[in-house]
Amino acid sequence: MTLETFPVVNATLNGASAVMLLAGFLFIKRGRIVPHVTMMLAALTTSTAFLVCYIIYHTIRVRNGITVTRFPPGNIRPIYLTILISHTFLAITILPLIGITLYRALHRQWSRHRRIASITFPLWFYVSVTGVVIYWMLYDLAPRLR
């Protein structure tokens, strides 16, 4: 994989995670536990793969002296920065929440699992979706604004 392919791979992994999270949510709302578990573990796997790829990508960039990707100035930049900041803050916040949610499921602490999952799911879904939005804004929209 080349340095240029990492962003599209990362966006694809985020998009896949979002789809699987939504499917898992819909399954559990319909009482379909096995498909719910399957989708949530698949979302966890793709989110983990994203995180690994993201760290590798940015490590390579830093080693090559590339530290910042800038969004062009203009009316859309504040929207981009708002999405980026909220995404980054929640991406950091969601990691321990995912761990706690998974722990409670593995230990069959269902009421506690449901309680934290009601917080974890929307935040994780938001982070996954905004990851795709950030990719689109930075690599598709921004070049057209320059």
CA 65 vs. chain centroid, Å, equals: 26
Q: Into how many domains does the chain fold?
A: 1
pLDDT in tens, 28-87: 999 999 999 999 999 999 999 999 999 999 999 999 998 888 899 999 999 999 999 999
pTM recorded for the entire structure: 0.95
Residue 35: per-residue pLDDT = 98
Alpha-carbon distances of 82 from 46, 86, 112, rounded to whole Å: 25, 6, 32
Query: What is the per-residue pLDDT across 19-30, written as a single tens digit (0 to 9) for each?
Result: 999 999 999 999
Mean pLDDT (whole number) for 82-97: 97
Phi, psi of 139 (to 5 degrees): -105, -15
Q: What was the pLDDT predicted at 107?
A: 98
Helices (H) and strands (E) in the chain, counts: 5, 0
> Can you give the residue range of the structural domain that contains 104?
3-145
Q: What is the pLDDT of residue 68?
A: 81
Under 8 Å between Cβ of 30 and 56 = no
Alpha-helical regions (H) of the chain: 6-29, 33-63, 77-106, 110-136, 142-145
| 71, 137 Cβ separation under 8 angstroms | yes
What are 7's two structure tokens?
């962003």
Terminal-to-terminal C-alpha distance of the chain: 27
> Is 90 exceeded by the pLDDT of residue 113?
yes
pLDDT of residue 26: 98
- b/e 76-105 (16+ beta carbons within 10 angstroms → b): eeeebeebbeebeebbeebeebbebbbebb
Q: What's the pLDDT at 146?
A: 80
pLDDT at 1: 81
Q: Show Cβ contacts of residue 80 under 8 Å, excluding neighbours closer than 6 positions.
A: 71, 134, 137, 138, 142
102, two tokens:
């998974």
**pLDDT value of residue 14:** 98
